[in-house]
Amino acid sequence: MSKPLLRFAPSPNGHLHLGHALSALVTWNAAQSLGGITLLRIEDIDQSRCKPEFTQAIFDDLTWLGLTWPEPVLIQSERFDLYAEAANRLRAMDLIYPCFCSRTEIAEASTSVDPDGAPLYPGTCRHLSNATRIARLERGDPVQFRLDTEAALARTGMLTFTVIGPTLHDRPQIRHARPERWGDVVLQRKDTPTSYHLSVVVDDAAQHITHVTRGRDLEAATDIHVLLQMLLGLPTPFYHFHRLLLGDDGQKLAKSKGSQSLSDLRALGWTPDDVRRAVGF
Ligand code: GLU
């Protein structure tokens, strides 16, 4: 049997903080205890926010923590064609449609929220006529492309996946995926021919990932990933959802909230062992 493959997949839209250190350490430790390898993936599809200097800082921070990975590192911004190809396969199944709604229109029309607390897309553009779609696309109206989740589920039927946890030594549990709670998710944006959901699924398969370790904040999103895997004929890895580090405000640490970066801590004299202790390793 081939070795278990895990991945650490940060986005270079800021510096890594202690929350990322926890996620990285969980992943490398899991790989070690499974006798596997951790691959590195740079999730930089959002070209307006990701910067090469943050990618370099990721390499530097992980190396400083004593973590190693095989080359080459997978860089998502070099793979837009592959994500577009996956989207086109879904389009050929008639599972993707153009949506012309603005954020404000969605917020006004929505009557419930998705698992992240954002307004649930009410399906406004799902039933537009082909003529209207073509006219609006030709006119250059702002557009994003959404998955018709209900039609997708009608094809796949009930979906399950296997979760290992709370620790990696626990007995695996079969979980029922409920992608319908996300509604019709966006798979492609006007300027980006992919989305987090699509690229993560394409790349977990391309890198032959057997075990996905990710924070509990991405637990619900896994339902969409399992649906996309089934539609695209890709394998579903095992999943392990790890605890999150919370700040003093009880919220998870975030780059956007200015959580202290690993490089700041290093400049303050912290050692890799201090980081390990701070995140509970
Ligand atoms: N790139 C994602 C992040 O930084 C994690 C990827 C994943 O586990 O799917 O939050």
Nearest Cα residue to atom 2 of ligand 1: 10
Q: How far is CA 76 from the centre of its chain?
A: 12
State the average pLDDT for the chain.
95
CATH code 3.90.800.10 region(s) in the chain: 79-200
Which atom from ligand 1 is nearest to the alpha carbon of 212?
Answer: 8
Question: Is it true that domain 1-77+245-281 has CATH number 3.40.50.620?
Answer: yes
pLDDT-derived band at 167 (thresholds 50, 70, 90) equals confident
pTM value is 0.95
Specify burial of residue 91 (Cβ count, 10 A radius: 0-12, 13-18, 19+): middle
Pairing of β 144-147 and β 186-189: antiparallel
Nearest Cα residue to atom 3 of ligand 1: 10
What tens digit of pLDDT does each residue of 192-237 get?
Answer: 899 999 999 999 999 999 999 999 999 999 999 999 999 999 999 9
Alpha-carbon torsion (236, 170, 114, 27), positive or negative: negative
CATH code 3.40.50.620 region(s) in the chain: 1-77+245-281
pLDDT-derived band at 248 (thresholds 50, 70, 90) equals confident
Residue 1 pLDDT exceeds 70: no
Pocket of ligand 1 (CB under 6 A): 9-11, 43, 200, 214, 218
Nearest Cα residue to atom 8 of ligand 1: 214
Backbone Cα Rg of the chain: 20
Question: Is it true that domain 79-200 has CATH number 3.40.50.720?
Answer: no
Nearest Cα residue to atom 1 of ligand 1: 10
Give SS3 for 130: helix
Residue 268 pLDDT exceeds 90: yes
